[in-house]
Structure 1
Amino acid sequence: MRADRLVSLVLLLRQRGRMTAGALARELEVSVRTVLRDMDALSAAGVPVYAERGRHGGFALLPDFQTALTGLNHDEALALLVAGSRRGAQLFGLGSALASAMLKVVDALPEGLRDTAADAARRLLVDPETDLLSRRVAVEEVSDAIAAEVRRAVFAGHRLRIHYAAVGQAPRWRTVDPIGLVTVREQGYLLAKRGGEDRTYRLSRVLAAEELDEPAQRPDTVDLDRAWQERNARFRTGGEKVAVLVRVDPAQREHLVGTALAVCAEDADTDGRLRLDVVFQDARHAEWALWQHATRAEVLAPQWLRASLRDRAAAITARYGPPS
């Protein structure tokens, strides 16, 4: 790991020029003392790095220094494959590997193209932490250590022991046969088998993980997309979930879909509105979600939900009617 960090140090100095020890420490997520030790190691290895003192000082490389250190290690190559979603890389414990890999990719570009790409990158912002309404994106926290242990078991085909906190239950240890990892809307999931049955575990609820030496009992090949779709279908139809047929103004569609668990069907109605079959977690969830849309959405079925919304509206009207 130190060798990768030393490479990253050299590439940062090549691409950004002079940098302070504090700035380097923040980029590499290490202490300033570690950066200073690494600088001594680079100097001892013959890398022409030097320090400039003063207010605008820092570390820099001698002009025209060249290096061919652009080879990617396994985690860096894997991080690039999931780089379409930086948060996906974070969820799977590959955030630092992605940063290191991107440094090497940039360093491998011809000098002119490198400058053009860097300028273009400064003009793109993907998935900021807040939207235009200043709502923060809820990103689930998964420790790198847990993510790495889960990832190793998935790739090695070994069984995995996890300390898991299911909703409404005390945390307990489970031994599972991992199949694959999925990230959806900033949430990471482990697809696995337990006792021969399909199981899905949210990574943020894994409190500890331990890769075992035993081989996992799983198919040699897997269609992860199909496996996810099958589990998604079972999730929509299982338990106390409520299916609702609703007619909605097209301008409200995204808001409605965003509050539902799933959309099973969608058609255009004759009056220009949309007719959707949507699924909610339970009766309380369905009533809360549809109430948000007031007259811009109309529940067509089930009848009990129509009656519940009508009674709530009548109670509100009575409360805010003119004084007697």
Structure 2
Amino acid sequence: MRADRLVSLVLLLRQRGRLSATALARELEVSTRTVLRDVEALAAAGVPVYAERGRHGGFALLPGFRTELTGLNHDEALALLVAGSRRGAQVFGLGSALASAMLKVIDALPESQRDTAAGVAERLLIDPEADLLSRRLVAEEVPDPIAAEVRRAVFAGRKLRIRYAAVGQAPKWRTVDPIGLVTVRDQGYLLATRSGADRTYRLSRIVAAEELAEPAQRPDRVDLDRAWQERSARFRAGGDLVTTLVLVDPARRDDLVGTALAVLAEEADADGRLRLEVTFQDSRHAEWALWQLATHAEVLSPQWLRTALGDRAAAVAARYEAPS
């Protein structure tokens, strides 16, 4: 771990020039004290790193210094495979590995291409933390040690012991055979079997994990896309799901679809609105999601949901009738 961090520190100084201890600590996700110790270790190993004092000081490398530091480790190579979604890397606990891998990839380019790539990268922003209305897009937090333990069991094909907090229940230990990992809308899931039955666990609800030495009982090959579709279909077919028919303003169609579990049917209505049949996780989810759309959506069925939204609107109107 420290060797990888020292490599990343050198690459940061090579590519960005002088950086303060605070900036390096932020990039490497360590304390400033750790950065100072790492700089001392690099100097002792012969790396020409020096400190500049003053308000705009920091650490830098002597001009022209270059060494071969571009070998990717396992997690960095894996991070590049999921780099199509930086948020996916974060969900699986590979965010720091992705940052380190990208430093090494840039450093491996010829000097002329490296300068061009750095300039281009400054003009691309992928998956920012907020949209144009400053609404934060919050990904679920999965502690790195838990994510790493789950990943190891999945890749090594060993049984996994997890302490899982299901909705409305106290955390319980259970032993599963891990099959694969899936990320959907910044939410990570572990696909597994337990006593031969399919199970799907939300990564953010795993409060502890332990890879076991015993081999997992699972097929050698897996089609994760198909497995996910099958489990999604079973999920939509059971439980407390609510299916509702909604008329929605086309401009707010994506807002509705973004909160629903699935869209079962969609067609244009005579009045210019879209008629969608969508499912929600339960009655509370349905009422919350449709209330956000205000007058931009109208529930046609079920009647109890239409009544619930009407009662809520009447209560709000009554509250604001009287002067404050």
Of residues 147-156 and 121-130 in structure 1, the stretch that sits farther from structure 2 once superposed is: 121-130
**d(CA) in 1 for partners of 2:51 and 2:181?**
44
Q: Indicate the residue corresponding to 2:101 in structure 1.
A: 101
Query: How big is the shift at 1:224?
Result: 0.7
What is the 5 A alignment of 1:20-99?
A: 20-99=20-99
Report whether the alignment pairs 1:281 with 2:278: no
* Structure 1 range deviating more: 158-167 or 45-54: 45-54
Alpha carbons of 1:296 and 1:131: their partners in 2 closer, same or farther (altered >3 Å)? closer
- SS state of the match for residue 99, structure 1? helix
Partner of 1:131: 131
Report the counterpart of residue 169 of structure 1 in structure 2. 169
State the secondary structure of the residue aligned to 1:132: coil
Alignment of 1:185-200 (within 5 A): 185-200=185-200
Q: Please, which moves more after superposition, 72-81 or 11-20? A: 11-20
Greater mean alpha carbon deviation, residues 312-321 or residues 238-247: 312-321
Residue identity in the other structure for 2:130: T
Q: Secondary structure at the match of 2:129?
A: coil
Report the Cα distance in structure 2 between the residues aligned to 1:137 and 1:49, rounded to whole angstroms.
Answer: 39
Give the drift of 1:233. 1.3
The residue identity in structure 1 corresponding to 2:247 is R
State the 1:303 CA deviation.
4.3
Identity of aligned residues (%): 81
**Cα RMSD for the two superposed structures:** 2.3
Q: In the aligned structure 1, how far is the partner of 2:12 from the partner of 2:285?
A: 49
Q: CA deviation at 1:30?
A: 2.1
Structure 2 gap ranges (5+):
none
Residue in 1 that maps onto 2:246: 246
Deviates more, 1:112-121 or 1:178-187: 112-121
**Are positions 1:146 and 2:146 aligned together?**
yes
226-235 vs 253-262, greater mean Cα deviation: 253-262
Secondary structure of the residue aligned to 2:182 is: strand
| Cross-structure match for 2:216 | 216
Query: 1:237 corresponds to which letter in structure 2?
Result: A
What is the count of residue pairs matched by the alignment? 322
- In structure 2, the residue corresponding to 1:234 is in which secondary structure? helix
Q: In the alignment, which residue of structure 2 is the partner of 1:207?
A: 207
Distance 2:195 2:144 in 1: 28
Distance change >3 Å, CA 87–CA 62, structure 1 → 2: same
Normalised TM-score (structure 2): 0.91
| Alpha-carbon displacement from aligned partner over 1:188-210 (angstroms, at most 9, x marks no partner) | 11111111111111111111100
After TM superposition, give the deviation of residue 304 of structure 1 in Å: 4.3
Q: What runs of 5+ residues in structure 1 fail to find an aligned partner?
A: none
